[in-house]
Amino acid sequence: MKDLNSVRLEFPSLSANEGFARGAVACFAAQLDMTLTELGDVKTAVSEAVTNCIVHAYPDSIGTVYMRVRIVDPETLEIQVKDKGRGIEDVEKAREPLFTTGGDDRGGMGFTIMESFMDSLKVRSRVGAGTTVTMRKRVEKRMKQR
């Protein structure tokens, strides 16, 4: 299946770039005529995914975060956030609420938040090779005004 539209971004795993990622995805997703609630859900999920790369994938260094955003059909947005960092030893454990490897100041709710705000969430990871998070959000159909 051919994408209706897509964009790729890559940026250093700096905290300042979390806001950039949110804004870039929101601008791209706006073409789907999302409601403010839907757009807010997408922005929150992107923030969590990018923050995971910054905090967990590259805890002691600056690495690269790769994002691909696609419109896969007229109502579906797909966002992929990827790193080449340290990877996740146990993905199922990492997806449990309150589990974190980021220290006492981290809440351990990143994957839970992504899952609750998006329609689907897939996580693939290899220790020492990085993690790929793929999320999809389906836009509610609305009647078009004449």
In the numeric block, which tokens belong to residue 95?
A: 């997806």
| Known catalytic membership, residue 48 | yes
DSSP bridge pairs for 11: 65
* Cα separation values, 89 from 41, 54, 113, 116, 122, Å: 28, 17, 20, 23, 16
52 is catalytic: yes
Cβ-Cβ contacts under 8 Å for 46 (sequence gap 6 or more): 21, 22, 25, 67, 79, 81
Walk across the sheet containing 130-138 and list its strands.
Answer: 5-12, 64-73, 76-83, 130-138, 120-126
Catalytic residue among 95, 106, 136, 138, which? 106
Selected catalytic residue, list 38, 52, 78, 86: 52
Catalytic residues: 48, 52, 106
